[in-house]
Amino acid sequence: MRVQALCVGMVLASCAAARAQPIPGPQDQPPNDRFNPGELRSTLVVPESRVERFRHPVIDAHSHAYAETPEAIAAWVGLMDRVGVKTTFILSGATGPELAKVSARYAGAHPGRFVMFAGFDKEGVDAADYGDRLRRRLRADVAAGAAGLGELTDKGLGLVRAGEPRATAASGAGLTPPQRAGGTGGAPLAPPVYIDDLRFDPLWDGAGVLGVPVFVHIAEPAAFYEPADQSNDLRRSANWSLHGKGTPGYAEMIAKFERVLERHPRTRFVSVHAFNLANDLGALGRLLDRHPNVDVDFAARMWELARQPFSAGRFFSKYADRILFGTDNDPSAPMYLAHVRQLETQDEWFWPADAEWWRGYGMGLPDDVLKKVYSGNAERLLRRRLDK
């Protein structure tokens, strides 16, 4: 028994030592960090699928008012027809008269092809009537045709700044982070009011009462809060960096959103960009398990899934009822078809939409999963309002 125990101990120690060894990195790297995957011509020869449209009708549940003229919007509709996108959600962030203007250009001119989403009143956050104004404006926007709220963004700089009027029609995805208090170039900005502030509760409650979803962009990938040095695998996107910008950090931003989800279990939320956690699908799954009132999209984060096709495929199968399809990209045929290739084929080593350093692999999802992700889950969101 003693000999056996000794052998077992030696084996365990050997395993522990093996685990402690560093994982080898790339071999024979050029000096001075001259390795740029984007400039390399791949020598890999593998089959390549020819894709021309989505296999099933699609609702793109995450887009913005990219086209500014009637002609450009009509061309977008033509492109949607060619690739198989039946409807696009326009997350305008606009409210009141601004929402009416953008709605007329999109949903009004092309009935059934665009679904509009609204912003909220960001002025007078400290006023005693702010909660009532939030409810009234939401009811008015929904009565005018808005299907919900979105995209509402808090990357750690506040959902709104107290006492400061904010633009209402901008997309939450492409904005430069606002100037921090005390910076140069103007008067100091008011302190941030974060998403979990109680002053926003009437907005979340109002959405639940009306049965409309709330699309929230919370945080950014955790690497964007860290130094963009040579060890940061997202340093190529340093223009999105929030390091040193005075934010609470990634973990605290997720905690803030979780507090909102917990306080408003009857309101349906959509965490766009999948809580910015597409690099850790295990942690993302635990968030979905804890909060049954939130769905996700992977818009503009498909590149994260492209390097983990097996894990991503298992995640999509397990959470097929909780994932919306979205692009968050200027409309183009190559962009749409990159999504087709990644979701529907088993192609290898190609550039996914919004590629970072790495190429990716197709997930080859089955039809039952594709139908839910492509349109079924988005249609369910829209039906909630009718069921109220």
**pLDDT tens string 151-195:** 999 999 999 975 555 444 333 333 333 333 334 445 556 789 999
pLDDT tens track for 202-257: 999 999 999 999 999 999 999 999 998 888 888 888 888 899 989 999 999 999 99
Look up residue 65 and give its two tokens.
């008012």
pLDDT tens track for 10-33: 444 445 444 556 777 777 777 877
Average pLDDT value over all residues in the chain: 89
Q: What is the DSSP string of 82-127?
A: HHTEEEEEEEEEE-THHHHHHHIIIIITSTTTEEEEE----S-TTS
Torsion, CA 16, CA 21, CA 22, CA 25, rounded to 10: -120
pLDDT at 300: 96
- Arithmetic mean of pLDDT, 253-270: 98
**Are 203 and 123 a contacting pair, CB within 8 Å?**
no
Identify the helix (H) or strand (E) that includes residue 360.
strand 360-361
pLDDT tens track for 123-147: 999 999 999 999 999 999 999 999 9
Q: Name the band, by pLDDT with cuts 50, 70 and 90, for residue 356.
A: confident
pLDDT over 60 at 8, yes or no: no
Q: How far apart are CA 139 and CA 345, in angstroms?
A: 43
DSSP H helices in 270-376: 281-290, 302-306, 309-318, 333-344, 367-371
First to last CA, the chain: 69
The residue with greater pLDDT, 246 or 36, is 246
pLDDT over 50 at 2, yes or no: no
Q: How far apart are CA 300 and CA 64, in angstroms?
A: 13
pTM over 0.85: yes
- Arithmetic mean of pLDDT, 30-57: 89
pLDDT at 223: 92
Strand 160-161, strand 192-193: pairing: antiparallel
Look up residue 351 and give its two tokens.
């550039």
pLDDT at 13: 47
Domain ranges (residues) in the chain? 49-387
Lowest mean pLDDT among 175-179, 297-301, 360-364, 383-387: 175-179
**Are 168 and 153 a contacting pair, CB within 8 Å?**
no
Tell me 58's DSSP state. E
What is 49-387's CATH number? Answer: 3.20.20.140
Geometric angle at alpha carbon 250, from 288 and 254, rounded to 5°: 30
pLDDT over 50 at 307, yes or no: yes
pLDDT at 27: 75
pLDDT at 186: 53
- Arithmetic mean of pLDDT, 54-59: 98
pLDDT over 90 at 352, yes or no: yes
pLDDT over 50 at 3, yes or no: no
Total Cβ atoms within 10 A of residue 148: 27
CA nearest neighbour of 309 among 343, 267, 351, 265: 343
**Are 105 and 73 a contacting pair, CB within 8 Å?**
yes
Q: How far apart are CA 366 and CA 369, in angstroms?
A: 6
C-alpha torsion sign, points 327, 332, 338, 341: positive
Tokens 């818009």, residue located = 299
